[in-house]
Chains A and B, each alone.
Chain A
Amino acid sequence: MRTTTLAEGVEGSNSLLNISIFGAFVLITLVIVFRASRNTKTATDYYAAGRAFTGPQNGIAISGDYLSAASFLGIAGAIAINGYDGFLYSIGFLVAWLVALLLVAELLRNTGKFTMADVLSFRMKQGPVRTAAAISTLAVTFFYLLAQMNGAGGLVALLLGVTSGVGQAVVITVVGVIMIVYVLIGGMRGTTWVQIIKAVLLIVGAAAMTVWVLGHYGFNLSSLLGDAVAHGGKSGEALLGPGKQYGATGVSRLDFLSLGIALVLGTAGLPHVLMRFYTVPTAKEARRSVVWAIGLIGVFYLFTLVLGYGAGALVGPDKINAAPGKVNSAAPLLAQALGGPVLLGFIAAVAFATILAVVAGLTITASASFAHDVYVNVIKKGSRDAAKSEVKVARWSAVVIGIVSIIGGIVTNGQNVAFLVALAFAVAASANLPTILYSLFWKRFNTSGAVWSIYGGLIVTVVLIVFSPVVSGTKTSIWPDAHFDWFPLSNPGIVSIPVSFLLGYLGTVLSKDKADAAKYAEMEVRALTGAGAEKAIEH
C-alpha cells in the first residue's frame, strides 16, 4: 500500500468537476441500461443482444470495446516519451483487424451461437474441446480484466488526486460494482450501448484535441514534430525514428518483433471481440461491423499520433515523467494545456468510461463462457433443464467474476501489471487463433488437434512468461531479487505461436481418431453460406 497522504492529482485538475462529468456519464448509461433490460429475457438477448444491432452500431461498439485506457493513455504517452516506438503498437493493433475481417468474423458468425467455444467444438467431441476453449477464454479475459481493474487504481491517482491505498480501493470497488450492474441488468444489449456511448465520446474528444493541436502548428505535421524534438531534450531527435525504446540490444529487438507478431495475430483470437460478432443478424452485418471498426480504430490511432507528439511538444517529457501516472498522464496533461480544467475533466471522465465499457465487455464474455460452455454444455451435457437456467447462471457468474476482479484489482494495486495485456494478446494469438483457423479451414483437424493446440498454446505462453524477465531477475520484475529468468524475452509470441500451430498439426496427424467428415461438410457449408445461422429475434 502507498502513503496515505491526500495530494492533488494532475496539477490544476479539479477533482469535483472530473467526478461530476464522470457521474453524468454513469447516470445516463444506467438509464439506457435499465431501458435495454426490458427486452432481455432469453439467452440470445442476454449474450447476443437478440442479434439485433446493425453493422455500424456493432462496429462502433467494437471500437468502444477494443480501445482500452491502455491504448488511449498508454499509446499517447508512449509516443510523447518514446516517439516513434509508441506508434508501432497502434499499427499492430490496427493491422490485426484484417485477420478478423478476412479469415474469422463472417465464418464465426455463421457457425457459432454465443461463444468462441461454439465454433471450436462444432465438429469435435463437445466435452474436451469446449472445456479447453472455455479455460482459454477465461484465462484471456481474466488477464485482461485484471489489467483494466489495476489500471483503474492508477487512473484515480492521476485524475482525481486519490493517492491513499484505501481511497483507491474504494474507487476500484465502485468501478467494479457499476460494471456488475451494467452486465447484470443490461446484459449484452446494455453493455453494447455503454460501449457505443463511450466510443463516441472518446473519438469525438480525441478528434477535437487533434484539431486543436494541429491548429497550434498551422496544420503542419512537420512543425509539430519539430517542436516535439525541440522539447525532447538531448534525445529529442530520436523521437522521429524507431529504436528509442526497443533498439538497445539484440534481445530487446527480438522482444519487439515477438510483440509485433502477437499483436497482429492476437486480436482475432480475443474472446470478447469474437463475441461481439454474434450481436448482429447476419454474416454480412458482421463484415460491415469490422469495416466500421477498422475505420474508427484507424482514425483514432492517427489521432493518438498527433496527441502523443502534441503532448511531447506542448507539455514536455520532463513534466509528463514528473506527474503521477507518468506516461499515462500525457493525454490528460495535454487536455489541460489546451482547454484548461473543463477539457481535462472531460478527458478524465472519458478515460474512466473507457475502463467501465471494457471491463463490462470482458465480464459478459467470461460469464457467457462459464454458463454456456462449462455449465450447460459440459457439466449438464446440454440438457434442456440446464438451458432453462442458463441466463440465471450467467448472471451469477458475472457477479462472481466482478467480485474476483475487484479483489484482484485491489490486491495488485500499485504493482505494474501492464504485462498482463501483452500476455492476454499472446495467449489469444497462441491458444485461440491457430485453433480457430484450423477448425474453419483444415478438413483433417480433429478433437485431439484442437485440445493440443489450445492447451499447448496456453501452457507454453504462461510458462515462458513465468520464466521471463517480467517475473524475476530485473529491476522492473515482480520479484527483482529472485533469478529464474532463463527465457530472455518478455513477449513469448515468437515461440508460443509457432509451437501452438505445430501442436495442432501433430495432435491431429498422430491421433487415431478421424475427423468427422459429415460434420465438417455441415460446418463448411454453414460457414460460407450462412444456411441455418442463428437469426435475430424480434421484439
Chain B
Amino acid sequence: MGTTQDTPVDPVEGDTDWSAVQSSQEFVQLRRRLRGFVFPMAGLFLAWYLLYVLLADYAHGFMSTKLFGNITVGLVFGLLQFVSTFVITWLYVRYANRNLDPAAERIRDQIEGDRA
C-alpha cells in the first residue's frame, strides 16, 4: 500500500496580500460580474422550477389539459424545464468564457507570477 504523501507545493503560500487583491478594482469588478450573473440566474431558475412544482402539485386540471393528441400542458411544461436547464447552462458557459475567465486569469497570473 502506498504511504507516500505528496509534498505540498503551494505556489502562493507566504506573503501574498490577499486583502489587497480582494479590494483591488479588478477583483471587485470580477466579483460583481460573477454575482451579477449567478445570483439573479439562480433566483430565476429556482422560481421557474417552483412554479412548475406548484402547478403540478395544485393545478391538476390545468396540467392535464390536452394540447394536441395526448400531449398535455404538464408534459410540455416538464420538457420546458429540460430546455431551460440546457439554455441556462449554455448562457453561463458563454458568459464565463467571455466575462469571467480573462479577468480571473489576469489576477491569478499576477499573484502566482509574484512568487515565480
Contact = CB atoms under 8 A, between A and B. Distances in A.
Which secondary structure dominates where chain B touches chain A?
helix
A295 interface: yes
Interface string B71-110: 1101100100110011011001100100001001101100
Given A42-B6, A525-B27, A95 B81 contact: yes
Contact of A98 (B42, B93, B96): B42
Contacts of B58: 253
Contacts of A302: 82
Contacts of A319: none
Interface stretch (A62-70, A256-264, A352-360): A256-264
A87 interface: yes
B6 A43 contact: yes
A41 B2 contact: yes
Given A222-B70, A242-B57, A532 B10 contact: yes
A302 B79 CA distance: 9
Interface residues of A, number: 69
A535 B10 CA distance: 9
Interface in B27-69: 27, 30-31, 34-35, 38, 41-42, 45-46, 49-50, 52-54, 56-58, 60, 63-64, 66, 68-69
A521 B20 CA distance: 9
Contact of B22 (A88, A287, A301, A521): A521
Given A226-B69, A253-B58, A529 B18 contact: no
B85 A525 contact: no
Interface in A225-241: 225-226, 229, 240-241
A257 B78 CA distance: 15
Contacts of B88: 98, 102
Interface residues of B, number: 62
A224 to B, nearest CB: 8
Contact of B31 (A87, A220, A291, A528): A528
A483 interface: no
A391 B104 contact: no
B104 A95 contact: no
A44 B31 contact: no
Given A395-B1, A532-B12, A94 B27 contact: no
Nearest to B80: A91
Contacts of B1: 391-392, 395
Which secondary structure dominates where chain A touches chain B?
helix
Interface string B1-33: 111111001111100101101100001001100
Contacts of A260: 49-50, 53, 57
Interface of B: 1-6, 9-13, 16, 18-19, 21-22, 27, 30-31, 34-35, 38, 41-42, 45-46, 49-50, 52-54, 56-58, 60, 63-64, 66, 68-72, 74-75, 78, 81-82, 85-86, 88-89, 92-93, 96, 101, 104-105, 107-108, 111-112
10 contacts: A84-B78, A97-B85, A103-B42, A226-B70, A242-B57, A247-B57, A257-B57, A525-B107, A528-B27, A531-B16
Given A221-B71, A225-B75, A525-B27, 18 more contacts: A43-B6, A45-B2, A91-B49, A92-B53, A102-B38, A222-B69, A226-B69, A284-B101, A291-B89, A298-B82, A301-B82, A390-B5, A525-B21, A525-B111, A528-B34, A528-B107, A530-B108, A531-B111
Top 10 nearest A-B pairs (CB, nearest first) are: A241-B64, A222-B69, A532-B12, A225-B70, A42-B6, A522-B18, A521-B22, A41-B2, A521-B18, A260-B53
